Amino acid sequence: MALLSELATEIVIPVCALVGIAFSLVQWLFVSRVKLTPERNAPSSANKNGYGDYLIEEEEGINDHNVVLKCAEIQSAISEGATSFLFTEYQYVGIFMIAFAILIFLFLGSVEGFSMKNRPCTYDSQKLCKPALATAIFSTVSFLLGGFTSVLSGYLGMKIATYANARTTLEARKGVGKAFITAFRSGAVMGFLLAANGLLFLYIAINLFKLYYGDDWEGLFEAITGYGLGGSSMALFGRVGGGIYTKAADVGADLVGKVERNIPEDDPRNPAVIADNVGDNVGDIAGMGSDLFGSYAESSCAALVVASISSFGINHDFTAMCYPLLISSMGILVCLVTTLFATDFFEIKAVKEIEPALKKQLIISTVLMTVGIAIVSWIALPSSFTIYNFGVQKVVKNWELFLCVCVGLWAGLIIGFVTEYYTSNAYSPVQDVADSCRTGAATNVIFGLALGYKSVIIPIFAIAVGIFVSFSFAAMYGIAVAALGMLSTIATGLAIDAYGPISDNAGGIAEMAGMSHRIRERTDALDAAGNTTAAIGKGFAIGSAALVSLALFGAFVSRAAISTVDVLTPKVFIGLIVGAMLPYWFSAMTMKSVGSAALKMVEEVRRQFNTIPGLLEGHAKPDYATCVKISTDASIKEMIPPGALVMLTPLIVGTFFGVETLSGVLAGSLVSGVQIAISASNTGGAWDNAKKYIEAGASDHARSLGPKGSEPHKAAVIGDTIGDPLKDTSGPSLNILIKLMAVESLVFAPFFATHGGLLFKIF
């Protein structure tokens, strides 16, 4: 038996979640202490040397009331834009959720012809389980709950980011360290809220469903998979919609502003500048939040489904059954300690300490988490147990499961560091890309693409080793907990990820409020580090998506009662080749959407420059609202087709071609999707940082490439603009495609297994 009693488990999980929520509120209090109202005649405080601070204040313009008021004004414009966009998006997505919920109910209810009678269990025909109708009802409920949690995660993240961006700008007047802490704290608010909410809602759902299901754990955890499906389907629309929004504005603002009119980035004369900053919040923050929440929900669901048909579920060992939730609980506590290292134990004094501080976050959280997993595995698992492995039970020791989680955790760290190496301008790959700008945009594009393809190699080996080790030890359950291991430090991962867009916005606000050059330099340094951490966050999301999707695939194959998936049968092979094509089709849709939305934006920005008198001289104000509206309308309209492609493919394939072909489609999309996703997001990140490298001019090499506006710089801007839809729209959305199709297939597996494959039945 496990050392941790059932009662203790019931208490520990919600307590950890509440601790996470409390911690994020404390961090939020710290951020809110930065005031956005100008302080009248602030007393000059005596500093350490006894001299007053007023000299510094005069120089940095801290007493300048106009600056503070301007920051507050810009912040409220960004916040309003982001809120109104999300509300519009959620109205459309809400309609979709209700329609899809009805679909789930009809499909799953029809498995037994809507009968209310108990039926023999799928895996143990001696016992009776609750009717299929119950699974239909509860899957629908958990689907809606998952969707709601996902929306909440994205929305709260966006609120925090738009609350913190101007505060980061104002803190940058006091020094880079203060600004870093403000941005990082607000990132932490989002990370902890998301991790804790995800855990808490899942835990509550399991306990409520248990009231009905009682001892039928197989049915209970099958119904819980709807939670992951809800979370990810919302994330898909958030990611695609937000990604199209942010990039339409960004590309439009860059092409007309920087390339044609030669005005700096985030210049207030540029009509698309507010839309661009709104986009950072709805795409990178709300989208990323929903995305990682989806991964987290699905890996938990995959692990629970496999465990419910293993000895944990058969013997009704609740503590061992909750092993995935206990890992997440431990993760929250570990990340809490890790966050204190960045905000309280070490202070950042210089620009060059920013990236190391963020890297330390990853290392510290991983090392501490390894110890945490060991403790959880020791107290929550029996010393030996069996895991369901395609029809047979495999005996597993508790230390083997500990290794499975660790493999995932450390693979995540490796992916993070490789991503950092390929996208940070401190290392040679990005510097080579910057250097290639000497000969124009074409060589820049060639070098950037090559870098992206090359950056796939090591992450894929890391994922492959992770899969092999965890599968050898504990079959599909091993892969599911490896994915959870990678996501166990999600709070820290999200904190350093959300930090990026917040710093980006802070820089934009500094430029628009007309602050001094030195402050803009500080926010640029924060932003360049933020680009890298955003790429690391995407690396985590893609790596975990690969593992999660494989675990869900395993659960699907078990549930659909397929004993082996044979690549040489034509049914499976056609699935494989079509599945491998889907990420390309999906990318084509999202890229083209960004392109056509950007086209509208460019035309609008040009129109304003040509028709509003005195705009370029700074005498007239541009019409920001029209640009915001263009982005909103385009992204709402354009997010439907890619979303429909992902949501309908499994339904069509499963219904008409059956489970074997569907298993081929899932395998194919997983294999090709991971490659495109990693290369796209790293290529885009590298181009962006190559441009920043030239702009910052921190080394002799960078200075030789020119000031802003030189030919190499213009080539770099073109590369950056091409990379925008790659790194922020199609790349990150692909990992949702991979896992969404897998979790959807798992939820509908009972229907496909009984009624699927219509075409093959006819012939």
For residue 280, name the pLDDT band (cuts at 50, 70, 90): confident
What distance in Å separates the CA atoms of residue 288 and residue 172, rounded to the nearest whole number? 25
Per-residue pLDDT at 318 = 85
* Residue 231: pLDDT over 60: yes
Tens digit of pLDDT for each residue in 566-619?
888 999 999 999 999 999 999 999 999 988 999 999 999 999 989 988 888 888
Q: What percent of the chain has pLDDT over 70?
A: 96
Query: Which one-letter amino acid corresponds to residue 513?
Result: A
CA 283 to chain centre: 10
What is the DSSP pairing of strand 128-129 with strand 119-120? antiparallel
pLDDT (tens digit per residue) in 452-510? 999 999 999 999 999 999 999 988 889 999 999 999 998 998 898 889 889 989 999 99
132-155 residue pLDDT tens = 788 899 999 999 999 999 998 888
Contact in structure between 413 and 419 (CB atoms under 8 Å): no
Higher per-residue confidence, 609 vs 52: 609
Q: Is the pLDDT of residue 744 over 90?
A: yes
* Averaged pLDDT, 626-646: 90
Q: 281, 78 in Cβ contact below 8 A? A: yes
Spatial distance between the Cα atoms of 6 and 201, rounded to a whole number of angstroms: 19
Among candidates 221, 206, 227, 205, which has minimal Cα distance to 121? 221
What's the pLDDT tens digit per position in 682-713? 999 999 889 989 988 878 888 888 788 788 99
Contact in structure between 309 and 557 (CB atoms under 8 Å): no
Q: Are 384 and 555 spatial neighbours (Cβ–Cβ below 8 Å)?
A: no
Q: Provide the angle, in degrees to the nearest 10, between the axes of the packed helices 428-435 and 398-423.
A: 30
| Residue-by-residue DSSP string for 97-116 | HHHHHHHHHHHHHGGGTT--
Instruction: Give pLDDT, residue 51.
Output: 40
pLDDT at 144: 94
pLDDT for position 403: 94
Give me Rg for the CA atoms of the chain: 26
Residue 123 pLDDT exceeds 70: no
Q: Is the pLDDT of residue 409 over 90?
A: yes
pLDDT, mean of residues 520-538: 84
Positive or negative torsion for Cα 314, 318, 320, 326: positive
307 vs 444, higher pLDDT: 444
Are the CB atoms for 397 and 383 separated by under 8 Å? yes
Burial 280-289 (b: 16+ CB within 10 A, else e): bbbbbbbbbb
Please give the full DSSP string across 240-291, using - where no structure is assigned: HHHHHHHHHHHHHHIIIIIIIS---TT-TT-TTHHHHHHHIIIIIIIIHHHH
Average pLDDT over residues 185-208: 92
For residue 5 the two structure tokens come to 């009693």
Percent of the chain topping pLDDT 90: 41
The answer, yes or no, to whether residue 316 has pLDDT greater than 70, is yes
Average pLDDT score over residue span 544-566: 86
Tokens of 434: 């910057």
**Which pLDDT belongs to residue 674?**
94
Q: Give Cα separations from 395 to 300, 377, 465 (angstroms).
A: 21, 16, 21
The rounded distance, in Å, linking the Cα atoms of 70 and 361 is 34
Residue 58's pLDDT band (boundaries 50, 70, 90)?
very low
Rounded mean pLDDT, 76-105? 91
Supply angle C-alpha 71, 77, 78, rounded to 5: 90
d(CA 382, CA 395): 12
Reported pTM: 0.88
Contact 703, 712 (CB under 8 A): no
Report CA-CA distances (Å) from 60 to 40, 66, 229, 246: 17, 13, 50, 32
Q: Give yes or no for residue 325 having a pLDDT over 80.
A: yes
pLDDT value for 39? 64
**The pLDDT of residue 4 is above 90:** no
Section 290-316 average pLDDT? 86
The winner for highest mean pLDDT among 250-254, 334-338, 525-529 is 334-338
DSSP label at residue 316: T
Instruction: Give the length of the chain.
Output: 763
pLDDT at position 706? 78
> Is the Cβ–Cβ distance between 481 and 381 less than 8 Å?
no
CA 675 to chain centre: 17
Per-position DSSP letters for 596-652, written without gaps between them: HHHHHHHHHHHHHHHHSTTTTTTSS---HHHHHHHHHHHHHHHTHHHHHHHHHHHHH
Summarize the confidence of residues 238-263 as an average pLDDT. Answer: 86
- Sequence letter at residue 694: I
In this predicted structure, what is the pLDDT of residue 143? 94
pLDDT at 465: 94
pLDDT bracket for residue 2 (50, 70, 90): low
pLDDT band at 40 (very low <50, low <70, confident <90, very high): low
Apex CA 426: angle with CA 421 and CA 428, to 5°?
65
**Rounded CA separation 79/87 (Å):** 12
Burial 437-449 (b: 16+ CB within 10 A, else e): beeebebbbebbb
Question: Mean pLDDT over all residues of the chain?
Answer: 87
CA atoms of 601 and 621, how far apart (whole Å): 17
- For residue 44, the model assigns a pLDDT of 43
